[in-house]
Amino acid sequence: MNTRTPPHSPAGPAGPANGARAALPLAIDPVPAFQDNYIWLLAAGSRAVVVDPGDAAPVLAALDRRGLALDAILITHHHPDHVGGVEALVAASGASRVRVIGPARENIPCITERVAGGERVTLLGHDFDVIDVPGHTLGHVAYYGAALEAVFCGDTLFCGGCGRLFEGTPQQMFDSLARLAALPGSTRVYCAHEYTLSNLRFAQRVEPDSAALTARLEACVAARGRSEPTVPSTIDAERATNPFLRCREPAVRSAAASRTPGADADAVATFAALRAWKNVA
């Protein structure tokens, strides 16, 4: 499994308008942190952006190793393992120069640009649409780069799973996941944790007869055996194997109802039962 997204530059209708300066090719790499976090490093030329830097030290080491200067920090939500390194990165890079972009509906003091769903930010010459995805936290946002075919979704959608509902309701999280599932199937899913094997093993308990799920789990076990990330996946892969995106499928509804009577009443009830089941699985 490829652990690095190769440099990508928009072309055709998704590219810059005639006469506009073309964006530099952009590479996306994981910076491992803590036990299972991924901080995403986006680099174009000599400039960089990082997503959800919970720890400054590995980011600073990566920037120094590659000779990159930090332009901006993207934040998806307020949890410490996503924001803990922001102040140190800004101090090391120059507070007047580094943009800190994050959710308008969360109290994160270090943010310099507060954004919400429907807005757009431009970083390293590439546009990112902001998507509101409450559920894990109430103000959680994701950043979708259409030309890059990439979404940075923090702790909302995981490879094979989804985040816990610490602040939001099942309806909110269900709707948030639906927004992400509606993205083009080729969109790469850059989540913030290496939870894939646990998630897919739970998914097999929900859909034990899924050949697609069995094949995906085998591939991910092999990748981890080579010390490779299982992230990113794609929206297509999540639609096919992630039970939290499959709450209208008869097999998923039946599995949820076998644990929680009445969970097959509608898709949100199925989702709520699955999430409660995963919490103790």
Q: 172 in helix, strand or coil?
A: helix
Q: Which fold has domain 5-195?
A: Metallo-beta-lactamase; Chain A (3.60.15)
* Whether the Cβ atoms of residue 275 and residue 244 lie closer than 8 Å to each other: yes
Among 181, 150, 153, smallest CA distance to 271 is for 181
What's the 3-state SS for 173-209? HHHHHHHHHCCCCCCEEEECECCHHHHHHHHHHHCCC
- The answer to whether residue 79 is catalytic is yes
Q: Which of 78, 136, 140, 264 is catalytic?
A: 136
Active-site residue, 129 included: no
Active site residue 8: no
The rounded distance, in Å, linking the Cα atoms of 6 and 8 is 6
264 given a catalytic annotation: no
- Structure confidence at residue 94 (pLDDT): 75
User: Does a cis peptide bond (omega within 30 degrees of 0) precede residue 232?
Assistant: yes
- 78 is an active site residue: no
Share of the chain above pLDDT 70, in %: 91
- List the catalytic residue out of 8, 78, 79, 126: 79
Label residue 5 by pLDDT band (50, 70, 90).
Answer: low
pLDDT classification of 70: cutoffs 50, 70, 90: very high
DSSP class of 243: G
Domain ranges of the chain: 5-195
Across 10-14, 85-89, 125-129, 225-229, least confident range: 10-14
The total of other beta-carbon atoms located within 10 Å of residue 67's CB is: 9
pLDDT confidence bin for 112, thresholds 50/70/90: very high
Question: Is 77 labeled as catalytic in the residue annotation?
Answer: yes
Q: Picking from 21-30, 99-108, 243-252, 264-273, which range would have the lowest pLDDT averaged per residue?
A: 21-30
Active-site residue, from 52, 71, 81, 132: 81
Inter-residue contact 4 to 28 (CB < 8 Å): yes
pLDDT at residue 11, rounded to an integer: 38
Displacement of CA 274 from its chain's centroid (Å): 20
Q: What is the 3-state secondary structure (H, E, C) of 29-95?
A: EEEEECCCEEEEEEEECCEEEEECCCCHHHHHHHHHHHCCEEEEEECCCCCHHHHCCHHHHHHHHCC
> Does pLDDT of 20 surpass 50?
no
Q: What pLDDT sits at residue 24?
A: 79
Q: Rounded to 5 degrees, what are φ and ψ at 142?
A: -125, 160
Q: What is the pLDDT of residue 18?
A: 38
pLDDT computed for residue 42 by the predictor: 98
Catalytic residue among 8, 77, 78, 140: 77
Q: Are residues 154 and 251 in contact, defined by beta-carbon separation less than 8 angstroms?
A: no
